[in-house]
Structures are given as structure tokens and as C-alpha cells.
Amino acid sequence: MQEKATFGSKIGLIAATVGSAVGLGNVWRFPAETQAHGGAAFLIVYILCVLLLGIPVMLGEFSLGRGMKSDAVGVYKKIAPGKAWWIAGAISVTASYLILSFYMVVSGWTLEYFVQSVTGNLFADSSLTQGLTGIEAQDMKYTQKMQEYIASDNAPLIFTYIMILINLAVILMGVKKGIERLSNVLMPILFVVLVIFCFYAFTMPKFGEGISFFLNPDFSKINMSVVVNALGQAFFSLSLGMGILITYSSYFPSSTKLVKTSFTVSLLDMLVAILIGVMIFPAVMSFGLEDHNFAGASLVFVTLPEVFAQMPGSQVWSILFFLLLFVAALTSTISLAEVMVAFLCDRFGLKRQSSCLIVVLPLFVLSSLCSLSQGSLSSFTIFGKTIFDFLDTFATNLLLPLGAIIMCIYLGWFAPKDYLKRELTNNYSFRSVMTPIVSFIIKWCAPLLIGVVMVSQFI
């Protein structure tokens, strides 16, 4: 067995963890959900979900990972030898791998859009709309481009493969030289690009209208299903329940202050999500596209290209935006891949190189299936869903909360007495007011609430 890797610096550890958290969930799910479900009212619910459940569950994962210094299954094998709690870890590892298989495809799309922006093809006339102008023609043009870039067979496959190879290169280099170094470079780029966009949005004629379109509070829109959405979004966005935070925190040095780290990561993740809204809506509003569909892929792949097309310097803005999206997606896929790599290294004593290959090879098959399910395999369904949607629903809505619930039940009821407290205070070296609150939430609130959310999706 090789010696356990660690992150080299505090900044690096935060950059890598934030890199995992900040992903497509922040860019295309959060702004659309917020705008559709009551603006600031939704935001308040979301913030409460993060503070009251997200951060405690994150601390649960951190305490297991940093305390036991092992992979998502190994932590349970170490802390509760001979017991079946490792199944929680196995569920998380499975969830992360399944999510990786379709997230890789979406990441491929971001790379494809980046490349098409650089070459200028994204803005070239399409066959359908040659010579036509006006919003409808533009809609048609970018919808056709999306079909071509996402729902055809070959191009998305090629970009998915490139994405897998980039992932392979990074995870092969290891925790410090690969993941940490990459995050240290990419995360600042992401923030700088975001700030540039926000400044630009600020100068737009309809900045105020855009912000109120995004955040105007409407409490009448808050109902049970909106709360369920907010909680689901919080868990997905913070990368909880997938073994990622267990794996990454096993690389934390023992001096890391877990509570502080969890707040920093969660606040940065929220900040990015909100800033993305601040950058998108004033632009959408200023160019008269507020009637557009903001849900899912069409926000970033149809509406925003239309916005960029109307902005002076279209190509530069779209290159910057898809760079941001690509960075967000890449650091997330790497964290997902690392869960399985760590599992294979720690459980089976494999060398990192062999683990990386074992992780990547089946991905070519799984991700190909997911990619083709948008194209020629779209009529092949499992329980009425395409392969892509089936994996998404099964892993995100079922496995992910299940792993999180079992972890909370273990930590709340069965872990060695004061385990959580010891981890949160770095072996009692300081006091933390958060300890009793977090323990209470993990013991009682988290399993119940996550359980309710999980079940409510199926009824």
C-alpha cells in the first residue's frame, strides 16, 4: 500500500474542493431554478438548506475522510470493522461513477462549445436560417446548432473522449501534482472570468430589471416541491453523498479546520451560483430574450449564444463563457473520477496508474452510451427514460441521498462516542460552538429530511 497523499496547501485544498462543488449545477441549474421559483424567496430557502443540512452533512463526510484517511468504502471498514456500514460507501462510489458517466458527456459539450466559439463556427450562419434575421431566426439557428453539437452522434462522442483523456492525464499525475495544481490554476481563472462578466452586466442598460427578474421575491411560489428542489440542488451543488468529500478530505492534513473549510467551500459555491445569475439575467433582459426557456441545457447552449451574438465582441464573450463552463465541468469530473481511483488504490492496493486505467476504460463505453442516447440511441429507453436520464435519475435521486442518509445514521447513532466532536475540534485543540449543533442535525434532522425528500420524489 502506498503512503496516503495529502494536499500541499490550504489554498490548494480549498481550490480543489470548491472546484468539485462549482459545476454545471451552479451555472445552468441554479439561476433557472431561482428565477422560476420565486427569486429571492427561493434563494432564502436554498441558503437555509445549505446552512442547516448541507454544511452539517459536509462536515460528516469531512470527519470520516480526514479521521480515517481512506476512500469512501475504506473509512467505514476502518471505523466499523466487520460491520456492514461500508455499504454506504459502496453506494456513494457507485453513484459517483454513474454520475461521472453522463457528466463526462455534458462536459464534452462544454468543450465542444468552447472550441466552436474559438473557431467562430458557433456564430456562422446555419443552413436553415441563412440570411434570415430577427429573434425567431436566431432561436432556430442556435437550436439547430445545439442539435448538431449535442444530439448528433460523432462530434459529441469525440469531445467526450477528449474530456476522458484530459481527466486521465490529471488523475494520473496524482493528488498534489494533478488535482491540486490544476485547481490552483483553473479556479482563479473561473473567478476572474466571472467577475469580468459581472462588471459587464453592470454596465448593461437593463441591469436593474435583469436583477429584479432574477431575484424579485415571490413567496407565494414556495411550496413543498420547491423546498424539495432546493434541497436536491444544494446537495448536488455541494457534491454531497457521492464520496467526493470523504475522498478529498482524506487528503486534508490533520491541522485543517473542518468547520471553517466547510463554510468557505459552501459560501464560495453559493457566491458563484449567485454571480452567474447576476451575469446572465441583465444580459438576457437587455437583449429582449426574457421569454426564453431557461431550463436545462437550452439556457447555456441556446439562449446565451443568442445573447453573445448580439453583444459587441461576440466571439470573445462566448470564448470566455465556455471557458468558464469547461473549467467548472472539468474540476467536477476530476473529483468524481478520483472517488473510484482512491477506492481502487486503497481497497485493493493497486498502483495509481492501474487504478486510473481501470476507472477510465469502462467510462469510454458508459459515456458513449450516454452520449449516443442523445442521438441515434434516443429511442432506446429504460423505464421510459433514455440511458442518460435513467442514470441521472437513478444516481442523483436515489443513490446519492441514500448514501448520505446511511452516513448520517451511522455518525449520529453508531459511531464511537464523541467521534464527530473530536474531528471537528482537531482532537479538542479548540472549542467549537458548531459541534453540538452539527451533531444534533446529523443525528435527527438530516436522515429524516433527506428521507422525506427522497421518498417524495417517487410519489
Contact characters 332-351, ligand PHE, x per CB under 6 A: x--xx---------------
Residue 63's identity, in one-letter code, is: S
Sequence-distant contacts of 322-326: CB under 8 A, at least 24 apart: 322/110, 322/113, 322/114, 322/117, 323/114, 323/189, 323/193, 324/27, 324/190, 324/193, 324/194, 324/197, 325/24, 325/27, 325/110, 325/113, 325/114, 325/300, 326/107, 326/110, 326/111, 326/114
Q: Name the DSSP letter for residue 197.
A: H
End-to-end CA distance of the chain: 46
Least CB distance to ligand PHE at residue 368 (A): 20
Alpha-carbon gap, residue 230 to 221, rounded angstroms: 13
User: Closer to ligand PHE at the Cβ: 76 or 248?
Assistant: 248
Q: Where are the alpha helices (DSSP H) in 120-257?
A: 135-150, 154-172, 181-202, 207-215, 224-237, 244-249
- At 386, give phi and psi (nearest 5°): -70, 165
Alpha-carbon gap, residue 195 to 173, rounded angstroms: 30
Residues 69-128 that bind ligand PHE (CB under 6 A): 99
The site that binds ligand PHE (CB under 6 A) totals a number of residues, namely 15
Residue 15 touching ligand PHE (CB under 6 A): no
Contact characters 236-275, ligand PHE, x per CB under 6 A: xx-x--x-x-------------------------------
Least CB distance to ligand PHE at residue 25 (A): 3
User: Closer to ligand PHE at the Cβ: 295 or 448?
Assistant: 295
Contact characters 125-164, ligand PHE, x per CB under 6 A: ----------------------------------------
Residues 21-40 that bind ligand PHE (CB under 6 A): 21, 23-26
Residue located via cell numbers 425567431: 136
User: Closer to ligand PHE at the Cβ: 276 or 420?
Assistant: 276
Least CB distance to ligand PHE at residue 239 (A): 4
* Contacting residue, 6, 18, 19, 20, with ligand PHE by CB under 6 A: 20
CB 244 within 8 Å of CB 96 = yes
CB atoms within 10 A of CB 94: 19
User: Which of these segments, 17-25, 133-141, 224-232, 296-304, binds ligand PHE (CB under 6 A)?
Assistant: 17-25
Residue 374 touching ligand PHE (CB under 6 A): no
Residue 19 touching ligand PHE (CB under 6 A): no
Alpha-carbon gap, residue 104 to 126, rounded angstroms: 27
User: Closer to ligand PHE at the Cβ: 29 or 145?
Assistant: 29
Per CB under 6 A, residues contacting ligand PHE are 20-21, 23-26, 99, 236-237, 239, 242, 244, 332, 335-336
